[in-house]
């Protein structure tokens, strides 16, 4: 059975990713683990790194909102692939996506990483060249799916 690590955030509940997962399932039995890396909201608050007392509420609010949105996308994805059953697991991680992937790979073995991202121009992951960073950091095949929507 092949095991895939899907790394996605805003593109999690999109037709392109659904098609790719269905394609993988048609090739052979498969298990999927969905990793949803969330940017640490405190990173984008203030370039000085200082969080004033009145900013901490906004950081927590931003974190809660981002986590709620990620949970909603994850629930939609999970509902779509309910037939996968116990072959579908998931988690949300805060911080650097490469560190989150490393942490996941330390706990489990996968045959391939699938990275789903927004289109160039609006994708933060493409701006930081996440596909290349993943290829350099891990000895696994990488499929990068750049969504059009």
Tens digits of residue pLDDT in 20-54: 999 999 999 999 999 998 876 554 445 555 555 55
Tell me the chain's radius of gyration from C-alpha atoms: 16
Please provide the CATH number assigned to the domain covering 2-146.
Answer: 3.40.50.620
Residues 128-132 have a mean pLDDT of 96
Delimit the domains of the chain by residue range.
Answer: 2-146
The DSSP output letter for 140 is: S
User: What pTM value is reported for the model?
Assistant: 0.82
Q: Could you tell me which of 88, 67, 83 has the C-alpha nearest to residue 5?
A: 88
Question: Phi/psi of residue 122, each to 5°?
Answer: -120, -10
Is residue 66 within 8 Å of 74, Cβ to Cβ?
no
């Amino acid at each position: 059975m092949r095991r895939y690590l899907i790394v996605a955030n805003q593109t999690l509940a999109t037709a392109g990713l659904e098609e790719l997962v269905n394609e993988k399932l048609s090739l052979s039995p498969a298990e999927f683990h969905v990793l949803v890396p969330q940017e640490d909201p405190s990173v984008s608050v203030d370039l000085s790194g200082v969080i004033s007392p009145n900013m901490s509420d906004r950081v927590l609010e931003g974190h809660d909102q981002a986590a709620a949105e990620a949970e909603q996308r994850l629930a939609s994805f999970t509902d779509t692939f309910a037939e996968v059953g116990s072959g579908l697991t998931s988690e949300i991680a805060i911080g650097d996506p490469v560190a989150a992937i490393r942490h996941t790979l330390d706990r489990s073995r996968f045959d391939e990483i699938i990275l789903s991202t927004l289109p160039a121009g609006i994708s933060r992951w493409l701006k930081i060249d996440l596909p290349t960073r993943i290829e350099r950091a891990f000895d696994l095949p990488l499929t990068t799916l750049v969504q059009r929507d």
